[in-house]
Structure 1
């Protein structure tokens, strides 16, 4: 994977992104991001999760589109395929997922403004780095032959596996709450598919998907988002596992936190 593109703006943003990834990796060891079950009012305003998630993910769509459409290779076959993979991911993460959240009526908002700020910063960087890379092809690697390269094929299989695990796990969690009676019980133990093995298959799916993305693009922006995701979700997965075991006395004892049969 090459680093220096010769584009000052791009290389600067990429350097900042790696610096932020280091910050997340270290920070995740000490505190969970304040949203969902780990929400707190100590860091200021909390938002409705539907609004918070949507606003946080918007730059991944908007900034990516602007950066991608500015490039000379935007209509080349490989660039379009890479853009389609991006659209697949953020059609779910940025649009379907936020709008499909089932929230208990009257529940205190649980998406902290600090998460929104950092999240928008990450998705803006992420959108720019990949949109510009796909359509400018700074290293000349995204010719049509890339679509048959083993790195692309293997990475795509890994990505789609992670994406399927992610979306199926989200579907299970979403349907724990009856849409006709969302206030009946706020938390239940999820079962089935990835939940047979780990407490956080959504996090595992996200990690696998971004690992696959880094491989199929064979570029450093993919490494950056994997590291940021790892730093955020791995400590959160262990905290979530502990939370479930403390809250539910009948929680499955053989279920691991994040990696099936391991941890």
Structure 2
């Protein structure tokens, strides 16, 4: 079996292996001939056979192929592996033609007679303080500078000082770039500045690892991906909902899914994974329930508290009563759907999201809409055109009923306890990606036609902006997930507009 890298201009032979029983057939040479032919057939410029080790029989055979060139470890020139270089390799453990040329030039200058014969030297490794890799590695671990090793091909201290500005060298830490000169300002650095060295290191330290996280886990390749999460949670005694697992190879997320096997995720034997603590979590159902509970309570309470809020005992108008009924019905329906209709693809979300999500509903559709709708100076306190009111009520009813219908369609796409979904079809799905958003907007337009309040219009604009983003994300997800089976939509949730 041969392993190859096909580069833009080169066929690179990485490895060749075969059973020792067939050694006499020299499959390595046959493989080299086939790979050279592949380079010619594919129009490649070069065939790279990998490392050449002159003293190793299994690696030396590469020199039998002509023309063959070997890279000089000091000058990075490609030198023909011919008589001169081979003769040098026969005599020395370490050989560099560029070094030999330099030696000959120095010898000729010293002799002054044009004699270019270099003084004899058994092995150029004598010029290096620690000739073997093992010795050099141990020395570096003990504190020896890399520059004291005189490694061929590595810049010297003088070369760095004369050609580079180390102070402006970029350093990537936690995905951010900083300059080396920032290190000298450690004492004056601010840990709250995320792009400073102190800030970056402070954030790294703050992200403490999960206590009890195992060094490794063992799972079968045909086991579901959810088994990874279960085992990590079981060993570390950590909530499974707080875990985010990604592949160490490319950083792609591994879903806590029962319908995908570990082999299908791309993980293989001894694959590395990264585990992150997502922080305190809260269920999606709880978040939704709290979101809608705000306006469901705020509207009746502010309606009842009108004498204390506005300082008036004037009776409410029919439009104000109608506004209250419509808002209560809308959010009561949303609470019912949260408890009995919706099925969520993710069990939890970060607990801090409940403040942000609730703020939208409690403030904009709760206090904002209620305060400006039930006051004595509200447009809803005055009479309106009955036809417009009837139109508003009709749009509200149609929007709510159709919205509920699409939620049932989406619910039935998923089996109970599953996160898998099918392609949605039915009412409105042939027009837009998310008809449930479209029908919700229609319902709120009906409310706006009833109370004529600018606060309702503001809520609709903000909601449309947010739902538009969600809808396009869902359209992209459908296209990626279902491929050619999915009929792409031109509009995400408002036909002809968005």
TM-score, normalised with respect to structure 1:
0.71
CA contact (8 A) 2:342 2:407 kept: no
**2:297 aligned with 1:62:** yes
How far residue 66 of structure 1 moved from its aligned partner, in angstroms, is 1.7
Q: Which residue of 1 aligns with 2:493?
A: 258
Secondary structure of the corresponding residue to residue 410 of structure 2: helix
CA contact (8 A) 2:406 2:436 kept: yes
**Residues 214 and 108 (structure 1 numbering): CA distance in 2 closer, same or farther, change over 3 Å?**
closer
Shift of 1:184: 4.6
Asked whether the 8 Å contact 1:68–1:134 carries over to 2, the reply is no
The alignment partner of 1:237 has SS state of helix
The CA deviation at 1:92 is 0.9
How many residue pairs match? The answer is: 216
State the Cα distance separating 1:185 from its structure 2 match.
5.4
Partner of 2:414: 177
Q: Decide which moves more: 69-78 or 81-90.
A: 69-78
- Residue 130 (structure 1) aligns with: 369
CA distance in 1, matches of 2:350, 2:439: 24
Provide the rounded CA distance (Å) in 1 between the counterparts of 2:386 and 2:278. Answer: 47
**8 Å Cα contact 1:58/1:120 also seen in 2:** no
Consecutive aligned runs of 4 or more in structure 1 exceeding 6 Å deviation: none
- Specify every segment of 5 or more residues in structure 2 that has no aligned partner in the other structure, as ranges: 1-275, 307-312
**Contact between 1:163 and 1:209, CA under 8 Å: does it hold in 2?**
yes
Alpha carbons of 1:188 and 1:130: their partners in 2 closer, same or farther (altered >3 Å)? same
Cα shift readout 1:106-133 (whole Å, capped 9, x = no counterpart): x752334344212222222222233333
**Any conservation in 1 of the 2:379–2:452 contact (CA below 8 Å)?**
no
> Residue 83 of structure 1 is aligned with which of 324, 342, 346?
324
CA displacement at 1:79 relative to structure 2: 2.3
* Higher helix content, 1 or 2: 1
Query: 1:36 corresponds to which residue?
Result: none
How many angstroms does 1:141 deviate by?
A: 4.3
In structure 1, the gaps of 5 or more residues are: 1-40
Q: Which residue of 1 aligns with 2:464?
A: 230
Structure 1 residue 260, shift from structure 2 partner = 3.8
Separation of aligned partners in 1, 2:421 and 2:300: 37
SS at match of 1:47: strand
Judging by fraction of residues, say which structure has more strand.
2
Larger Rg: 2
State the alpha-carbon separation in 2 of the partners of residues 78 and 262 from structure 1.
Answer: 30
Higher relative contact order (CA 8 A, sep 6+): 1
Q: Distance in 2 between matches of 1:184 and 1:134?
A: 42
In the TM superposition, what is the alpha-carbon distance from 1:254 to its structure 2 partner? 5.5
Contact 2:414–2:420 under 8 Å retained in 1: yes
Contact map agreement 1:70 1:135 (CA 8 A) in 2 = no
